[in-house]
Structure 1
Amino acid sequence: MEITRTGCIKRKQWITKVASMFMIGLMFASFSASSFAAGGVSSEASSEGIAQTAYSPDNGPGPVVIVISGQTGPASYQFYAAGLARLGYYSVLVAGKDILNPEHTGPANLTKTIERALQSPSAVKGKVAVIGFSLGGGGTLYNAANMPNLVSMVVAYYPATKPWANKIDSLVSHFQVPVLVLAAQRDRYKECCVIETAQAMEVAAKAKGLRFELVVYPEANHGFNLAIGASGEPMGAYREDDARDAWRRTVNMLKLYHPLP
């Protein structure tokens, strides 16, 4: 009986140990899933700044590029930030709602994001480039293009410009760095990012002699560069040729105003 009891005790101890190891494994898997996104390292919002996912280049420190998502959140733009890291940039992906919002916390959030990025050992010290999409594109134009001491250039994909539709000069007055806007001719998504406003912005910027370029994709709609959505679903607006051309123009802009060392 004693032998049987001892065997039962040992068996219970073994089961408890295995269960504990399994739970630890689940906890680690959960931590990994939340902390690593498509090769990036994620950080939750804290006293250091807003939530972000950072992508480090493989071959040493790189110039910083801040990537600002659209309204659906950063998930759809992980591939883009990862692509910049493959080029050699240290890219930091943040949510558009943190940069352009009714609370007007965007400037402070962006400044803090830039300062934190420049402290990373993966970053080359100096100015940063900022690239935004939709809501994040509007935030890029309004809250990044007026930071010449911190920002070297900005690129805005189908930017949200509805708040300035009737006061374009108010928006364009913020442009103090080179600006590239990549717009979709057929974009009527929530009337937030229409081509007419982008064209009016171009006229106002040119009249002021600003370094501004507008590229219009005639057959494109909102989100033309996104092959998959935030939940992994295929995106009907995706146009491979336009997406490739927009990427090429963005890379050329980076080479000109924010080059790799």
Structure 2
Amino acid sequence: METTRTRGIERKQRVTKVANIFVIGLMFASFSASSFAAGSVSSAASSEGIAQTAYSPDNRPGPVVIVISGQMGPDSYQFYAAELAQLGYYSILVAGKDILNPAQTGPANLTKTIERALQSPSAVKGKVAVIGFSLGGGGALYNAANMPNLVSMVVAYYPATKTWANKIDSLVSHFRVPVLVLAAQRDRHKECCVIETAQAMEVAAKAKGLRFELVVYPEANHGFNLPIGASGEPMGAYREDDARDAWRRTVNMLKLYHPLP
């Protein structure tokens, strides 16, 4: 009887602990979103372009980086765009669905976003870098990597490549700028971004002599760089060491192909 009672108490304590962690996580997410938003300027969709949030560097203009979110929207990527601004870049955060979609409005939307960004007094004139995640990663590969007159480089985190799974050459043939793909070995999220397609992309790119690098994180899953995860992505996917390494490689890519003045 006492054992049963003790187990019941232990179960209740575990449930309470999990609930408390969940609440703290929600508080952290809310605080983070508001704090990032405080240092940014958001613009609704208009004749000037798609909806966006701009993050300006301190003190002087910076080279432009377009950040393209995953399918669930930009909120989970605010911290990333803000970090780029801390480095000295003028970062523009947009929704992945506006850059890769069945209506094929992505190229026009991306071009207009780039043109608008370069008109800002916070921007250094010239080419832009493009960094995308999941759906946005696919959009970066398909609609940005083929813009050598506007884009200096592309980084794609666990990119959505399902559309091209059986026609990799069609995708890779678009690449006209240096590309870095950061892939998760265990990613089976909606079968959108599987490692097999990323590896096939690497083979095709190397066969064409393109400037392409694939980095695979063996224990990682979809959204491995998101501290609080994104709605619709696997819970607990965040891996601090992998996130740090991916960030380091991204920064090195920026230093090489899209340096600060």
SS for the counterpart of 1:125 is strand
The match for 2:196 is 196
For residues 138-169 of structure 1, what are the alpha-carbon distances to aligned partners after superposition, in whole Å with 9 as ceiling and x for unaligned? 00000000000000000000000000000000
For residues 75-126 of structure 1, what are the alpha-carbon distances to aligned partners after superposition, in whole Å with 9 as ceiling and x for unaligned? 0000000000000000000000000000000000000000000000000000
Report the Cα distance in structure 2 between the residues aligned to 1:143 and 1:120, rounded to whole angstroms. 22
Q: 1:133 to 1:8 in 2, by over 3 A?
A: closer
For residues 203-239 of structure 1, what are the alpha-carbon distances to aligned partners after superposition, in whole Å with 9 as ceiling and x for unaligned? 0000000000000000000000001135799941000
Report the Cα distance in structure 2 between the residues aligned to 1:54 and 1:108, rounded to whole angstroms. 19
Q: Higher Cα Rg: structure 1 or 2? A: 1
The alpha carbon displacement at 1:3 in A equals: 77
Across the aligned residues of Structure 1 and Structure 2, the Cα RMSD in angstroms comes to: 11.9
Asked whether the equivalents of residues 65 and 89 of structure 1 are also in contact (C-alpha less than 8 Å), the reply is yes
TM-score normalised according to structure 2 size: 0.85
Alignment of structure 1 residues 149-168 onto 2, 5 Å:
149-168=149-168
Asked whether the equivalents of residues 38 and 79 of structure 1 are also in contact (C-alpha less than 8 Å), the reply is no
Q: 1:5 to 1:224 in 2, by over 3 A?
A: closer
Report the Cα distance in structure 1 between the residues aligned to 2:67 and 2:25, rounded to whole angstroms. 32
Q: 1:47 to 1:6 in 2, by over 3 A?
A: farther
Identity of aligned residues (%): 91
The match for 1:34 is 34
Single out whichever of 136-145 and 7-16 deviates more from structure 2: 7-16
Alignment of structure 1 residues 101-116 onto 2, 5 Å:
101-116=101-116
TM-score normalised according to structure 1 size: 0.85
Single out whichever of 180-189 and 1-10 deviates more from structure 2: 1-10
The alpha carbon displacement at 1:59 in A equals: 2.0
Asked whether the equivalents of residues 159 and 193 of structure 1 are also in contact (C-alpha less than 8 Å), the reply is yes
Q: 1:243 to 1:48 in 2, by over 3 A?
A: same
The alpha carbon displacement at 1:19 in A equals: 39
Query: Unmatched 5+ residue regions in structure 1?
Result: none
SS for the counterpart of 1:115 is helix
Superposition misfits of 4+ residues, deviation over 4 angstroms: 1-36, 230-235
Q: 1:61 to 1:102 in 2, by over 3 A?
A: same
How many equivalent pairs are there? 261
Asked whether the equivalents of residues 85 and 91 of structure 1 are also in contact (C-alpha less than 8 Å), the reply is yes
The alpha carbon displacement at 1:5 in A equals: 69
Q: 1:34 to 1:7 in 2, by over 3 A?
A: same
Q: 1:5 to 1:245 in 2, by over 3 A?
A: closer
Q: 1:255 to 1:17 in 2, by over 3 A?
A: closer
Q: 1:18 to 1:111 in 2, by over 3 A?
A: same
Single out whichever of 220-229 and 93-102 deviates more from structure 2: 220-229
The alpha carbon displacement at 1:36 in A equals: 7.6
Asked whether the equivalents of residues 33 and 78 of structure 2 are also in contact (C-alpha less than 8 Å), the reply is no
Single out whichever of 35-44 and 97-106 deviates more from structure 2: 35-44
Alignment of structure 1 residues 1-261 onto 2, 5 Å:
37-230=37-230, 235-261=235-261
Q: 1:170 to 1:227 in 2, by over 3 A?
A: same
Asked whether the equivalents of residues 185 and 219 of structure 2 are also in contact (C-alpha less than 8 Å), the reply is yes
